Structure 1
């Protein structure tokens, strides 16, 4: 059987590791596609007609409308760990297998970037560099930051990546570690070295907050005006999970009233964003373009998983990390 492979909205897959593309070329024709985040399902289906294997990024959205109009698609392999851009019920009804990368592959890369961005905003690294570059050395006293050592860190979502963030903050900076995670027991959180607390207590006590939760109906905009009102004045926040965890308008109000001393985000609601986004008006906000997983080690591991998914599917084998594994139990 001849297969056609569509690489959709991925800026990184296959770019640095040509051996992975060579393996796919042995399976079938490959073409790259770039779609707007809000591309309608039918239009998306029409453009991808004939491609029975899709390698997908975090966008676009593979909706029920997409699956209703698309011809046979045996696999959507997510080049990442999330799958909230795929209507899983519709995919399963269509018989489309959906796979994701093991969370362990991204663990260190994403956690390290969450800390790197946090440190950059806390110590005003980018602003200080720009001053030095422009010959404004005498202004160095303006770039006063804070130390993390001995302060209180709150991690929201102490799962795969959040637990690594917690390890770095606790053992690297001798911080008191608080954790809120409604999907884990008190014992689970304590076994990871954290004090298990409710969300309100974490917000009130933390000097630094890291968001590492996943998006579901309960966590969407879980941080809004009420929650910012509970935080200490001058809190620092890093988010390498999903932009939708925080209400953007509420963030802007918290920046304006001084609640947030510094914000470091690798994810933004409605991304990709352009230079007109209001975050760029603030000197105490750092935005990176969803690059937390962009290390050679991580991207090679992610690519290997995706290629393996494709190879196994065309050989009638079950890939690893299948979201709708029930398709193999029929």
Structure 2
């Protein structure tokens, strides 16, 4: 029987809430957890993981071509999540590594609900007002003024698995006018929920609230720059549980300071972890959470089960699901 060594890379949640998943892996082989800097070079990452032929990986660091060119035998890289933009799947395939992801539906409700939760906390100044109470400043309550989302125009950019659920919550939960942008939109779904399929410029110029749920690729990176912010209605609110790189950092800071954007809620950062000296964390109109959109019990259980099943199926020569390379 082949010997297996399993590395769990940069995941703060795998095995924490469902230790039985970790125990199942230990029955297969040696298991070790690693935490690496996000910007570790591919060569150094490969060296640090020498001898490990199975990896369960978080959203960072990057498993790039340099990593695969320098890595000894790697049979499986199982992403503990639905995205794989931190994995060079072409290089992985060239080196005989199978890359799998968590099926989209596992994260759908958790991430969508958090996008809306962060949005409402931002709009209704929930965190600020709680801090006021903690500081015995109840008298400041009249300063925590927000808006109603009910009846407003909401725009969802990226209407796939998660974005479509965000759209449904905002449409039916808040009786909103729904604008959506997605080059691969499901027209039958859009008709069913009463969504208006529009182009990005139209959405930006009409939406009171915007949710970013697009996947990150060459066409969506820095999707929102100075030009796009100039099109927005003054006082717009934005929530982002997709990828930080959808927005150009300096552009949104300028838009916030100019009053174009009334508030920005983000669960994703350009560099993770980010600290309290980051301009986003310091900004009074930005709500930052530490990439916790998937942190619902049901979601984490499903993610962990998928990764463990990947490993068990691999060693049993059974077909793997949600393979991307």
TM-score bin (small chain) = over 0.9
Equivalence for 1:311: 312
Partner SS for 1:83: coil
- Tell me how far apart the structure 2 counterparts of residues 112 and 188 of structure 1 sit (CA, whole Å): 19
Where in structure 1 do 4 or more consecutive aligned residues deviate above 6 Å? none
Residue of structure 2 in register with 1:276 after alignment: 277
Q: Gaps spanning 5+ residues in structure 1: where?
A: 325-330
Q: Distance in 2 between matches of 1:172 and 1:188?
A: 17
Matches within 5 A, 1:215-254: 215-254=216-255
Corresponding position: 1:262 with 2:263: yes
What TM-score, normalized by structure 2, do the two folds share? 0.98
CA shift at 1:186, angstroms? 4.7
Report the secondary structure of 1:262's partner residue.
Answer: strand
Establish whether residue 117 from structure 1 lines up as the match of residue 118 from structure 2: yes
C-alpha displacement of 1:122: 0.2
> Which residue matches 1:5?
6
Any residues of structure 2 matched to 1:141-156 within 5 Å, and which?
141-156=142-157
- Residues 275, 281 of structure 2: 8 Å contact kept: no
Number of residue equivalences: 324
1:282 Cα deviation from its structure 2 partner: 1.9
Structure 2 residue aligned with 1:79: 80
Whether the aligned pair in 1 keeps the contact of 2:154 and 2:207 (CA below 8 Å) is yes
Counterpart of 1:53 in structure 2 is 54
SS at 1:237 equivalent: strand
Paired with 1:192 and 1:67, the residues of 2 have a C-alpha distance of: 44
Q: Deviations over 1:268-305 (max 9, x none)?
A: 12332111100122222100010000011100000000
Partner residue of 2:17?
16
What is the root-mean-square deviation of aligned Cα atoms in Å?
1.0
Residue 33 of structure 1 and its aligned partner are, at CA, apart by 0.6
Shift of 1:185: 5.6
Structure 1 equivalent of residue 182 of structure 2:
181
Q: Answer yes or no: is the 8 Å Cα contact 2:314–2:320 preserved in 1.
A: yes
Structure 2: stretches of 5+ with no match in the other structure:
none
TM-score of the superposed pair, with normalisation by structure 1: 0.96
Match of 2:290 in 1: 289
**8 Å contact kept, 1:225–1:250:** yes
Question: d(CA) in 2 for partners of 1:98 and 1:191?
Answer: 35
Q: Is the 8 A contact 1:158 1:166 kept in 2?
A: yes
Structure-1 separation of matches of 2:270 and 2:202 = 25
The answer to whether the 8 A contact 2:77-2:100 is kept is: yes
1:67 aligns with 2:68: yes
Residue 23 of structure 2: SS of its match in structure 1?
A: helix
SS of equivalent residue, structure 2 residue 263: strand
- How far apart are the structure 2 equivalents of 1:280 and 1:72? 41
Q: Aligned-pair distance for 1:187?
A: 4.9
Query: Contact 1:241/1:267 (CA < 8 Å) preserved in 2?
Result: yes
Superposed displacement of residue 192, structure 1: 4.1
**Secondary structure at 2:36's aligned position in 1?**
coil
Q: 1:12 deviation in Å?
A: 0.5
